[in-house]
Amino acid sequence: MDLKSLRVNGKRLQGSLEEMAKIGATPSGGVQRLALSEEDKRARDLFVMWLKELDLGIIIDDMGNIFGTRPGRDKSLSAVMSGSHMDSQPKGGRFDGILGVMGTLEALRSLHENNIETERPIIIVNWTNEEGSRFAPAMVGSGVWTGNLDRGWACDRLDINGNRFEDELIRISYKGSLPAGKWPVHAYYEYHIEQGPVLEKEGKRIGAPKGIFALQWYDVYLEGEANQVGPTPMAGRHDALCAAAEMILKINELPQRMGGNMVATVGEIQNYPNSRNIIPDRVHFTVDIRSWDDDHALKAWEMVWRDFDEIATRRGCPIKIEETWRVEHSPFDRKLVHRILNIAEELGYSGLHMVSGAGHDASYMNRICPTAMIFVPSIGGRSHVEVENTKWEDCEAGANVLLHAILQSANEK
């Protein structure tokens, strides 16, 4: 058949996404499918069943990453890989991550039912713990696979309840026997919702980001002095929560103080003993700093660290800070980025060259092979929340671009 006329089955893609959305569904239309939870296991089981229906060679490594391989004509050639993740944020959205896995699955289904052979193998992948919402940091599965994170360190990560990453992987029966480790990849594509407002605002259907922001994650621990709130005068208190509150405002002010070109967020906080009539004596909170400019982000952290030190000293609350994660900005392969924009134009979709402020497994894959991403609009720019939504016709359009990008790369000698 004429490959240029090949398209995915949009209704089937919608059906796959809706079936996955039932797993961990929340009352307000989102999903809660935290990494290595029972919901994650159910999604994995369904995914593996669908891979078997396409007669793909299935590999599960010791980080729980799932790979499905469709052979190419030339076994000596490295594969084209595409995928994303199936874990979600707490009360997250039903498109984040899963669209990239289901979009790739639909592309493979289209090739399968049309008996289309490619020169190179094609591999679909589900990466473990991309979100990092249960086990920090994010992108653990791809980080270990690409050699950017230590396997032992990753296996020992704990969730808020003290559950260990590797133990939970074993519990859900997804710790494979193959050691997680990279192999040659010809090209990597990741299809995703934008998670921001730009495409919708610009009236564009397909986004081709030039790369991903640098990301820095820190964990901040403060110690105060607990006491009964009534008899304890305000003067002389060592209130860890008040110290944290000052520091959190410093983070919120950071981008403006640095002259823009970044975002900074405190997204998680634990207060102890968390009783209304006890002065807090321990606080843990997280810091997330992102910028396209690596040096700019580091200078911002140096500035805010000085603020933190001053506040901790003034309030008599000793501070400890851990750098949990740092990823440099990732400029994608120009050839693949332009390929995506050209395919979009050929298929009649409007396109936009942009940048990704969100982190993705593509950031690590970019270090080992040519990499690019395909974005489709997020309605209202909302993501990581239950109201996250994307039009079904946009999901189909992005999957068509992905299908042809994979085909072009998979037929290169």
Q: For position 260, what pLDDT does the model report? A: 80
pLDDT digits (tens, 9 = 90+) for 228-266: 999 999 999 999 999 999 999 999 999 999 998 899 999
Over range 142-147, report the average pLDDT. 98
Q: What is the mean pLDDT of residues 113-130?
A: 98
Q: Look up residue 359 and give its two tokens.
A: 């982190």
Q: Which residues contact 342 (CB under 8 A, 6 or more apart)?
A: none
pLDDT, tens digit, 9 for 90 and up, residues 342-357: 999 999 999 999 999 8
Q: How many CB atoms lie within 10 A of CB 309?
A: 12
pLDDT digits (tens, 9 = 90+) for 58-100: 999 999 999 999 999 999 999 999 999 999 999 999 999 999 9
pLDDT digits (tens, 9 = 90+) for 355-399: 998 889 999 999 999 999 999 999 999 999 999 999 999 999 999
What percent of the chain has a predicted confidence (pLDDT) above 90? 97
- Tens digits of per-residue pLDDT, 287-322? 999 999 999 999 999 999 999 999 999 999 999 999
For residue 1, pLDDT beyond 80: no
Could you tell me the domains of the chain? 3-213+329-410 (3.40.630.10), 214-327 (3.30.70.360)
Mean predicted confidence (pLDDT) in 159-166: 97
Could you read off the pLDDT of 326-340 as tens digits, one per residue? 999 999 999 999 999
pLDDT in the model for residue 357:
87
Q: Specify the pLDDT at position 2.
A: 83
